A and B are shown apart, each in its own frame.
Chain A
C-alpha cells in the first residue's frame, strides 16, 4: 500500500505569495492531520479532519492558514500570504478512525524569503 504522499517536497516562496501544499492520505484512512515542524517549536498541529469534516483548525494559525479536504483522498494546505516565519517543514499524517497510530508523509520543506 502507498503511504502518505505530499507534494511538493520543497517549496521556495517570496514573502506575500500564496502557496498550496498537497497531501494524499493512506487509502481508507478517515483522519487527516497537518503539522508544522520547526526547530524552535517542534511539531505543532495545524488542522485535523475526520471523514472530511474539520475537527480542529489550529487556533493561532487561523488567519493565514487554511486546510481543506476536497475528498477523502486529497487535502490541501493554503498559506496566504506567506511570511518568512512560515519557513518550516509541513507534515501531513493520516490514520484510521479507530486506530491510534498516525502515518506520516515525508513532509514539504517551505522556505519563505
Chain B
C-alpha cells in the first residue's frame, strides 16, 4: 500500500546543532508521488514547510531542505543549524494523485522536535 515512515520522536537537539529527520515512503498506486514536509508549531495549525514534485530535485524553506530520492524512496529533512523556534512536530507526506484527478495526502506519524539552549 501507500505509506510514509519517519524518524520516531521525540527528538531533542541542542541549538546550533545539525538535524536530520528521516522519511521513507512506499507508493504503490502512483509511480512519482509529490512529496511534502508539513510542520505544526505549538498552538498553531499544520502548515506546509516545503514540497518537491520532481524526482531528484531539492526543496528548501526556512533553512530546511529535503531531496526527493526516487532510488531510495526517501525524502529526509535536514537543517545545518537549528534554533529554538524550530521546536515543532514535523510531518512527511506524499500526495496520491489518482487517475480520477483528485489528490489525497498520506502522512507519516509525525516527529516531535525539541531544540534546547
Chain A contact residues, CB within 8 Å of chain B: 3-4, 31, 33, 37, 41-43, 45, 48, 50, 55-56, 91, 93, 95, 97, 100-102, 104-107
What's the least CB distance linking B25 to chain A, in Å?
14
Q: A45 and B45: CB pair below 8 A? A: no
CB-contacts of B16-42 with A (<8 A): 34, 38
In the bound complex, residues from chain A placing their C-beta under 8 Å from that of B108 are 42
Complex Cα gap A59–B97 (Å): 19
A5 nearest CB across to chain B (Å) = 10
- Considering the chains assembled together, what is the distance between the CA atoms of A56 and B95 in angstroms? 15
Chain B positions 84 through 109: 1 when the CB is less than 8 Å from some CB of chain A, otherwise 0: 00000001000101000011110111
Are the CB atoms of B45 and A104 closer together than 8 Å?
Answer: yes
Nearest neighbor of B6 in chain A, beta-carbon distance: A42
A43-B110, A100-B53, A101-B51 given as contacts; is B45 within 8 A of A55 (CB)?
Answer: no
Q: Are A107 and B107 in contact (CB under 8 A)?
A: no
Q: How far is the CB of A67 from chain B (nearest CB, A)?
A: 15
Once the chains are docked, how many angstroms separate the CA of A55 from the CA of B34?
Answer: 21
With both chains docked as a complex, state the minimum distance between the C-beta of B48 and any C-beta of chain A, in angstroms.
Answer: 6
Chain A residues within an 8 Å CB radius of B97? 100
Q: Which of A31, A48, A100, A104 contacts B46 (CB 8 A)?
A: A104
Is B44 at the interface (CB under 8 A from chain A)? yes
Find out whether the CB atom of B107 lies under 8 angstroms from the CB atom of A43.
yes
User: What are 29 inter-chain pairs, A to B, with CB distance below 8 A?
Assistant: A31-B102, A42-B91, A42-B107, A42-B108, A43-B91, A45-B104, A45-B105, A48-B102, A48-B104, A50-B102, A55-B102, A56-B104, A91-B45, A91-B46, A93-B46, A100-B34, A100-B51, A100-B103, A101-B48, A101-B51, A102-B48, A102-B105, A104-B38, A104-B45, A104-B46, A105-B45, A106-B44, A106-B45, A107-B45
Residues of B within 8 A of A3 (CB): 45
| CA gap between A33 and B97 in the complex, in Å | 15
- Chain B residues contacting A55 (CB-CB under 8 Å) are 102
